[in-house]
């Protein structure tokens, strides 16, 4: 059972209303003025993670979710290794998909990307298009047992304590699915540099979505995922977990009827958190007390 603290001090109220918009505007501005520099993505995400990580310790929404050094250091190491694998998979997609998708673009008359639009408008266009594909991938993971297992998505859901760093705590198998939506949009439409800005925004919003800090959800939460909505998706209750599939954009959940909003009591796949080894084995063996896996409790009962 987790109790959520209310914003009490002036600083907490400032964070409540200002943190998410400030981080979004901050990273987009940073990217815009440094977009030709290759290291702009890792620098922006590192800054977001450090800011959220420090604030989670000082102003946690759920005090029993605070990740102390031992838990945090394991997660940091895991995310660094997985981030390297993510870059490798992205390069591999570029290698194998660029040519066939360029051929398809020409053959199907898809040379329609608005390259003359302002760069920030292009960025939001590729962002919402990529998130549209991810929405259906993610919904499929929670709908079909085969996709749930093959992607190892349960490993991402298995953590009982969430923090901003959890945005990158995924099963290695899932990297292939996580990278694919943006690669498809970028390579099919020949997007260009706006796709890199979209990647910065996506990772920033995914970090915010897992953060253990109390933040406002109105206005910004109409289009973009907030941590209140995404933590509901991480609920250990199946009916709550099967909502809010958009990890960065929530608009697709609103349009396709999977949006949900309520405070969450407990996160995870069930009553207990699997060990790291059990998480790694989840594509092959679902933990016995898992309650949110597709084909599990509800289907058996009905
Ligand atoms: Zn999920």
Q: Is residue 112 part of a domain?
A: yes
Q: Is residue 41 part of a domain?
A: yes
**Distance in Å, CA 101 to ligand 1 centroid:** 28
For residues 58 and 145, is the Cβ–Cβ distance under 8 A?
no
For residues 99 and 222, is the Cβ–Cβ distance under 8 A?
no
- How many angstroms separate the CA atoms of 102 and 114, rounded? 16
**Distance in Å, CA 65 to ligand 1 centroid:** 19
pLDDT in the model for residue 68: 84
Domain enclosing residue 176, as ranges: 10-301
**Distance in Å, CA 32 to ligand 1 centroid:** 31
**Distance in Å, CA 116 to ligand 1 centroid:** 36
Q: Is residue 5 part of a domain?
A: no
Q: Is residue 2 part of a domain?
A: no
What is the count of structural domains for the chain? 1
pLDDT in the model for residue 298: 40
**Distance in Å, CA 119 to ligand 1 centroid:** 31
pLDDT in the model for residue 299: 42
Q: Is residue 258 part of a domain?
A: yes
Please state whether 110 falls in left (phi above 0), alpha (psi between -120 and 50) or beta.
alpha
**Distance in Å, CA 37 to ligand 1 centroid:** 33
Q: pTM for the whole thing? A: 0.92
pLDDT in the model for residue 1: 47
**Distance in Å, CA 171 to ligand 1 centroid:** 12
The list of the chain residues with pLDDT below 50 reads: 1, 297-302
Q: Is residue 97 part of a domain?
A: yes
Q: Is residue 3 part of a domain?
A: no
pLDDT in the model for residue 7: 67
């Amino acid at each position: 059972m987790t109790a959520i603290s209310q914003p009490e001090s002036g600083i907490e109220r400032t964070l409540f209303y200002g943190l998410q918009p400030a981080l979004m505007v901050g990273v987009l501005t940073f990217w815009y003025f440094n977009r030709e520099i290759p290291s702009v993505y890792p620098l922006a995400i590192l800054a977001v993670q450090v800011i959220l990580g420090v604030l989670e310790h000082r102003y946690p929404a759920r005090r029993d979710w605070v990740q102390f050094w031992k838990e945090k250091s394991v997660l940091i190491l895991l995310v660094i290794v997985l981030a390297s694998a993510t870059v490798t998979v992205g390069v591999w997609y570029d290698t194998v998909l660029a040519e066939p998708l360029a051929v398809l673009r020409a053959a199907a008359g898809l040379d329609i990307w608005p390259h003359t639009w302002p760069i920030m408008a292009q960025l939001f266009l590729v962002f919402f298009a990529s998130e549209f594909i991810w929405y259906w991938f993610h919904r499929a993971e929670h709908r079909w047992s085969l996709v749930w297992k093959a992607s190892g998505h349960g490993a991402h859901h298995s953590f009982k304590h969430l923090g901003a760093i959890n945005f990158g705590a995924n099963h290695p198998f899932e990297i292939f699915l996580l990278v694919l939506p943006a690669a498809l949009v970028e390579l099919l439409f020949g997007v260009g540099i706006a796709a890199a800005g979209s990647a910065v925004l996506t990772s920033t919003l995914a970090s915010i979505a897992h953060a253990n800090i109390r933040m406002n959800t109105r206005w910004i939460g109409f289009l973009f995922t907030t941590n209140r909505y995404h933590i509901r998706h991480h609920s250990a209750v199946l009916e709550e977990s099967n909502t809010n599939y958009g990890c960065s954009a929530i608009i697709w959940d609103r349009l396709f009827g999977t949006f949900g909003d309520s405070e969450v009591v407990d996160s995870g796949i069930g009553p207990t958190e699997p060990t790291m080894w059990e998480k790694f084995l989840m594509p092959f063996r679902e933990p016995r007390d898992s309650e949110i896996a597709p084909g599990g409790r509800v289907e058996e009962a009905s």
